[in-house]
Amino acid sequence: MTTDDCPFCAIVRSESPAIRIHEDEHTLAFLDIRPVSRGHTLVIPKRHSPNLEALPVDDGARVFAVAQRIALAMRRGPVAADGVHLVVNDGRAAMQTVFHAHMHVVPRHRGDKVSLAAGLATRRRHDPQQTGADVRAGLEPGREGEK
């Protein structure tokens, strides 16, 4: 997968639509098109790296920092998460399907085991515009665009 045929590079170039949660010079965060739970977000470096081996350490650090902020936003904002998974699937054996390095930010709620299992099976979108607004609403004002 190169930048030309990479679905995430197409989102960075605004050639594919996405519900954007955060953007700065080096990173972009947007809703997963097949969420396992409402608010499931992906954080990517804008620079294309297919996997962890190729990922420059500074891009990895930036991705983590943004994922951490979004996780906090999911807890304190209207998503009202009780917990959050930060997940990187690296390599086909680990179920990586898009070969542009990314981190999943998946909100969890107490007692949601059944709905999470259903979400894993169906991976249906839930009102993406409202969901995007709800995730963004938890981001600390004034820190948007910070590197």
Torsion of CA 41, 46, 48, 53, to 10 degrees: -70
Among 3, 16, 122, 130, binds ligand 5GP (CB under 6 A): 16
Catalytic residue among 22, 102, 104, 126: 102
Regarding 43 and contact with ligand 5GP (CB under 6 A), the answer is no
Q: How far apart are CA 43 and CA 87, in angstroms?
A: 10
Strands 103-108 and 20-23 come out as unpaired
- For 145, other C-beta atoms within 10 Å of its C-beta total 9
Q: What tokens does 51 get? A: 């996997």
**129 touches, from ligand 5GP, Zn ion, none (C-beta below 5 to 8 Å by class):** none
Stretch that binds ligand 5GP, among 45-53, 62-70, 88-96, 139-147 (CB under 6 A): 88-96
Q: How far apart are the first and last CA of the chain?
A: 27
Regarding 30 and contact with ligand 5GP (CB under 6 A), the answer is yes
What is the binding site for ligand 5GP (CB under 6 A)?
7, 16, 18, 30-34, 42, 89, 95-98
Catalytic sites, residue numbers: 102
